[in-house]
Each structure stands twice: as structure tokens, then as C-alpha cells.
Amino acid sequence: MNFAVLQFPASNCDQDAIHAIRLLGHSARYVWHKENSLGDADAVIVPGGFSYGDYLRCGAIARFSPVMQAVKQFADNGGLVLGVCNGFQVLTEAGLLPGALVRNRDLQFHCEHIFLKTVTPDSPFSNKIPAGKILRVPIAHGEGCYFADEETLAKLKAGNQILWQYCDVDGNLTDKSNPNGSLQNIAGICNERRNVAGLMPHPERACELALGSDDGKWIFESLFAALKNRTVTVAA
Amino acid sequence: MKAKIIITPKKAVVDPQGKTVQVALEQMGHQGIKAVHVGKYLEIELDGTDREAARKKLDEAAHRFLSNPVIEDYKLEIE
């Protein structure tokens, strides 16, 4: 499979994403933010970092970049798009995912490993995660507190769109295991159509044991499996 | 002409910055503070004299780009 990994000024997890995808046996290449096209891509990763210096709001400037218009088209055509950390913020700002990410409740930047519970295997981003498996992956953000109004939150739940929640080592959704104050411990969601997802934790930084955990690979393996099962080619 | 845009967090959104400033003010001895909300202030210098046209354009920009309606409210003034 061929992944397009976006590069904005001050993206800093783009190389990690490329490394992880290649390590797992697939191909990946950078797509610069000024590009109008994604070229030949089976899926898109919007990586972490501090695109455009986080000016105005995280992701607010990136969403207007030329490449994001191509990503929007790609997503509208049903293409798979995964946003990680700042990528999640960009996707919410772009309106491709509901809600918003605001300042962590304790105003601290959190850089640590956390535990994630997968809410549903019913998505291209979670279908290969073993049932009941608690993922241990790192986070590194200052503005990862997920917020949505009550109506949006109810719709997310009804549509089974919450994909990951912060939990403790045993899978309990406790307040203590919630690193940033996200509503309902939400760490990652998908859109209604289930082809666009975003999460604050970094699966690409947890794909090999040398990095302390390889649990992140299950998210990528899910993507690979979903792409393999697809018969329709998507172009943008 | 000059446009002034004040952006504030929506009431439903937790504002830890505002809360922290409030606590600090109280610790400094300030009393009777009900709440503090920390937002943003933008000053935009404009050519021309057509206030209504400027207001219309900036209102759209404030809604679409300068603020995020999911988490923020804004107030636009042109002078």
C-alpha cells in the first residue's frame, strides 16, 4: 500500500509516520503542503507537530493549505485519512471530523505513555486490534482535550464513532487515566462515514519494541487490512 | 478603518487558563471575582471607508477562520 504523509511547516512526526509504515512493509512518501494533488495514494496520514507554529489555533492555518483541499476531495471520495495529534487538530479545524481540541485541563504539555481502550473494531482504523487489547502508546501534546457540544457527543456515541478512550492499565475509564480532560476520555474518533479518523496519541511512535511499545502497529495493521479489502480505487 | 475582533471561549468549554488567572488574582488579594475568561484580541487595519462592506467580509472571516465556532464566540467592531 502507498501512503501519502503530509508535510506542513513545523510538522515533526512526518518522518516517524514514514518510518513506521515502511517498517511495517508498506510504502510511504511525503506530500508538501503546497501541493494541489496527493498523487497516487491509497491512504493519507496527517502527521503530528506544530503546523504553522500553532498560530491562531492548532491546525487553523493548515486547513487552508492547498494540500488540504486535495485531502478533503480524497476524503469526500471515500479515501482513508488518519490524523495524528496535530493532524487530528487539523482535521477538526477542516470540518472533516466533529468537535475540537482545546488546552489540556492542567495547562501542562503531556509527554508520556498512556493506555488506550478501543471502543469498536468496526472501522478501517481499528479492525485488526485484538479484542480486549489495551494499547500502550505515547502522547505529546498541550492541546488535546477533546470537546464537542452535547448534541455532537450524542451523535458520536449513537454512530459508534468514538474509536479510542484513555483508560488505566486494566481498561477502566477513570478520570486519573485521562491525561488532558477530554470529554468522556475520548482519545480518537472517526467521521460518520468511517473513512476519516483522528487521535491524539501517536501510534507511529509505538511500532517497534525498541521504542518501548509496538502496540501502535495494530492501528496501521487495521489500515493495511482495510485497504486490502477495498476494491474501489480512490483518486484525488 | 480599523477592525477589532475579540474572541472568547464559549461558556460550555472548560477554560483552564481563565481559572488559573482567577486563582492567581485571588491569591494576590483581589476579591469578588466571579470568573475570568482568557481569549484573543485581533486588530486589523483596513483600506477604504465602506464600513458595512468591511463588516460583512470580516464577519465571514471571523466565523470561518479567525474563530472556531465549536469552542469560541467573537465580537467584531469597526471604527
CA dist., res. A27 & res. A179, Å (int):
33
User: How many domains does the structure of chain A reveal?
Assistant: 1
Asked if the structure places residue A179 within a domain, the reply is yes
Active-site residues of A, by number, are 85, 202, 204
How much is the ipTM here? 0.86
Domain enclosing residue A140, as ranges: 2-228
Buried b or exposed e, range A50-63, using 16+ CB within 10 angstroms: bbbebebbbbbbbb
Per domain, the residue ranges of chain B are 2-78
Q: Structure pTM?
A: 0.94
CATH of the domain at A9: 3.40.50.880
The CATH number assigned to the domain with range B2-78 reads 3.30.1280.10
Distance CA A116, CA A221 (A): 16
Is residue A152 within 8 A of residue A99, CB to CB? The reply is yes
| Residue range A202-231, pLDDT digits in tens | 999 999 999 999 999 999 999 999 999 885
Mutate to test the interface with B, among A55, A102, A106 (most CBs of B within 10 A): A102
pLDDT tens column, B9-68: 999 998 999 999 999 999 999 999 999 999 999 999 999 999 999 999 999 999 999 999
| Extended beta strands in A97-233, E state | 100-102, 110-118, 134-141, 145-147, 162-167, 186-190, 196-199
Output the nine-digit C-alpha cell for A236: 484525488
- Identify whether A28 is part of a domain: yes
Size of interface A-B (CB pairs under 8 A): 35
In a domain, A233, yes or no: no
Amino acid at A31: V
Q: Check CB contact under 8 Å for B14 and A99.
A: no
> Which residues on A lie below 8 Å from B16 (Cβ)?
103-107, 181
pLDDT digits (tens, 9 = 90+) for A36-50: 999 999 999 999 999
pLDDT one-digit tens code per residue, A86-143: 999 999 999 999 999 999 999 999 999 999 999 999 999 999 999 999 999 999 999 9
Q: What are the chain B neighbours of A99 within 8 Å (beta carbons)?
A: 70
Report yes or no on A235 lying in a domain. Answer: no
Per-residue DSSP letter, A213: B
